[in-house]
Amino acid sequence: MKNKSTNSNSAEAKKIKKPWPTKAAMHQIYEQKLWGDNGTDFYSGEGSHKPEIVNPYVEVVRSFLTSFEMPLVVCDLGCGDFNIGKEFVEYTKKYIAIDIVETLIIRNKEKFSVANLEFYCLDIAKDNLPAGDCALLRQVLQHLSNAEVQQILEKLRAFKYVILTEHLPEGTFIPNKDIISGQGIRLKKQSGIDIEASPFHFKVKEATELLSIRLQDGKGMIVTTLYMTF
């Protein structure tokens, strides 16, 4: 992976149009460093940087990707600061990284460059998605309203594999309580995303839990599930 110099104040970044509500919320999160600050221009939070969370995830996804004789085309839906995605690029035919925050995508394009890597600024609920074999969504749906989750799920049927990671309460809980996009996650309502439960009823051929990490602060579990779609 080749690192390029970052210029967050580039002329391209200054031309960004006024965002719509979900995009505005995500812009605000990065601009005000609501997910924390590690001294860099963009920071996607502890879930994308703490070794005890990141390393096991990278290991299981890398194992999945390298299990194929022919490398897959992977779409990373909600790539964030790309601290995790950069670990998978070399194991794919093509790696397409997508995020709703335009300044973040501009920065990622400047910082990461490799032949089979592409970055796009898209709203994955509203915009058409690139074609691929496998979609990665890591702690993305948990930030979105049920209406936006449903829009995304309809598009995920185009992928043969979906690797979904969600922050869930420990023990039993009522899934899929609705929230306003960008205003926290369902954990504060003792809820979390379950795409196979009501109101989504996402039908799959097979679901396999790849990883479950109990957070040390007692605030739930981070669960990664591999879905094979019809």
Q: 8-48 pLDDT, tens per residue?
A: 444 444 444 444 578 998 889 899 988 888 888 898 988 89
Q: Residues 144-190: pLDDT tens digits? A: 999 999 999 999 999 999 999 999 999 999 999 999 998 899 999 99
**Where exactly are the structural domains of the chain?**
19-228
pLDDT of residue 2: 52
Please tell me what DSSP assigns to residue 218.
S
Specify the range with the lowest mean pLDDT, choosing from 57-61, 153-157, 203-207, 213-217. Answer: 213-217
Tell me: pLDDT of 201 over 80: yes
Mean pLDDT of the chain: 91
Tell me: pLDDT of 216 over 70.
yes
Contact 188, 150 (CB under 8 A): no
Residue 203 neighbours by CB under 8 Å, 6+ apart? 196, 230
Q: Decide yes or no: CATH 3.40.630.10 for domain 19-228.
A: no
CA distance 165 to 139: 5
Measure CA of the first residue to CA of the last residue in the chain; give whole Å.
34
Token representation of residue 169? 């309460």
> How distant, in Å, are the alpha carbons of 76, 105, 179, 211 from that of 223?
17, 26, 20, 6
The closest of 215, 104, 93, 192 to 142, measured between CA atoms, is 192
Give me the pLDDT at residue 13, please.
44
Is the pLDDT reported for residue 82 higher than 70?
A: yes
Strands 73-77 and 134-138, sheet pairing: parallel
